């Protein structure tokens, strides 16, 4: 989604390294070898993120010289959005993998609001109406409404989980967008207390780990054992 502020920059050898949260493992794992560990990682920062602009369908690269602060958790399969920033991030984090590109994991299309900041949009009546909409059915002019975006992401994620479970895949990483992660986690994550869409917003190179089993997915369609990247023991 929009923005990109608040991350910590580590400077080393003239490069910028992001460490919003250590990319570490999920100690709980899955049960009995019949499940799959899910790793969600938001792409690295782009120039538009750093300028706090709405970056949805805009296909810009990562900001120059920005690298993740630490390795990603191991993953048997890697899935990516088709947009360049996600493909570049996957290449940094999983250089030995051949990621599977999933078009429906792309970010929301912000239409007329693309690549604009809040400061540029705050006096636009169409923008104010969109921000005040609580139904998720009002789209930006020429863009995608939030409800449709969430359905798209949820449907794509369901299909991938079912494929992974059928194939016996033990771990799958999703190198995608903040909005994509938020949409999936809001719908499928099971937590002790309810969380809304914006409660799942990750930093650049940040994200979540979770898991599900064949039985849980068949009966309830949920992800359990949710942890923020960096919490718990590191991956083997």
Residue 184, classified by CB atoms within 10 Å of its CB into exposed (0-12), middle (13-18) or buried (19+), is buried
In a domain, 235, yes or no: no
Q: How far apart are CA 180 and CA 231, in angstroms?
A: 21
CATH code (residue 193): 3.40.50.1240
Q: How confident is the model at residue 146 (pLDDT cuts 50, 70, 90)?
A: very high
In a domain, 175, yes or no: yes
In a domain, 208, yes or no: yes
Is the pLDDT score of 11 beyond 90?
no
Most confident of 7-16, 21-30, 125-134: 125-134
In a domain, 3, yes or no: no
pLDDT of res. 82: 99
Q: How far is CA 115 from CA 51, 59, 182, 220, in A?
A: 9, 10, 20, 38
Structural domain total, the chain = 1
In a domain, 236, yes or no: no
Q: What pLDDT digit, counting tens, does each position of 169-185 carry?
A: 999 999 999 999 999 99
Q: How far is CA 17 from CA 137, 221, 227, in A?
A: 38, 36, 22
In a domain, 4, yes or no: no
Q: In the predicted model, what is the mean pLDDT of residues 143-171? A: 98
Q: How confident is the model at residue 69 (pLDDT cuts 50, 70, 90)?
A: confident
pLDDT of res. 236: 38
pLDDT of res. 231: 74
In a domain, 94, yes or no: yes
DSSP state of 53: B
| pTM reported for the whole predicted model | 0.86
Tokens 């309810």 belong to residue: 194
pLDDT of res. 1: 56
Query: Residues of the chain with pLDDT > 90: what percent?
Result: 79
pLDDT of res. 195: 92
In a domain, 216, yes or no: yes
Residue 37's DSSP bridge partners are 171, 211
Is the pLDDT score of 215 beyond 50?
yes
Is the pLDDT score of 46 beyond 50?
yes
Tokens 């399969």 belong to residue: 77
Is the pLDDT score of 33 beyond 70?
no
Supply the range of the domain harboring residue 65: 9-228
Q: In the predicted model, what is the mean pLDDT of residues 53-80? A: 96
pLDDT of res. 70: 85
In terms of DSSP H, where are the helices of the chain? 47-50, 84-93, 118-121, 125-132, 146-167, 178-188, 214-219
The DSSP result for 129-175, as a single string, is: HHHH-SSS-PPPTTS--HHHHHHHHHHHHHHHHHHHHHHT--EEEEE
Q: In the predicted model, what is the mean pLDDT of residues 151-156? A: 98
DSSP state of 45: P
């Amino acid at each position: 989604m929009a923005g990109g502020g608040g991350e910590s920059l580590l400077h080393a050898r003239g490069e910028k390294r992001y460490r919003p949260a250590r990319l570490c493992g999920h100690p709980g794992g899955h049960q009995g070898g019949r499940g799959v560990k899910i790793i969600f990682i938001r792409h690295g920062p782009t120039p538009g993120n750093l300028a706090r602009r709405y970056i949805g369908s805009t296909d810009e690269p990562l900001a120059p010289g920005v690298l993740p602060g630490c390795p990603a958790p191991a993953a048997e399969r890697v899935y990516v959005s088709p947009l360049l920033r996600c493909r570049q991030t996957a290449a940094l984090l999983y250089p030995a993998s051949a990621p599977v590109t999933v078009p429906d994991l792309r970010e929301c299309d912000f239409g007329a609001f693309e690549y604009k900041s809040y400061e540029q949009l705050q006096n636009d009546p169409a923008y104010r109406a969109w921000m005040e909409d609580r139904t998720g059915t009002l789209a930006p002019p020429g863009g995608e409404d939030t409800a449709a975006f969430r359905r798209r992401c949820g449907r794509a994620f369901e299909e991938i989980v079912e494929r992974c479970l059928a194939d016996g895949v033990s771990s799958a990483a999703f190198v995608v967008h903040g909005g994509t992660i938020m949409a999936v986690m809001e719908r499928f994550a099971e937590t002790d207390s309810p969380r809304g869409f914006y409660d799942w917003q990750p930093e650049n190179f940040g994200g979540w780990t979770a898991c599900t089993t064949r039985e849980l997915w068949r009966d309830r369609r949920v992800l359990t054992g949710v942890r923020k990247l960096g919490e718990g023991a590191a991956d083997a």
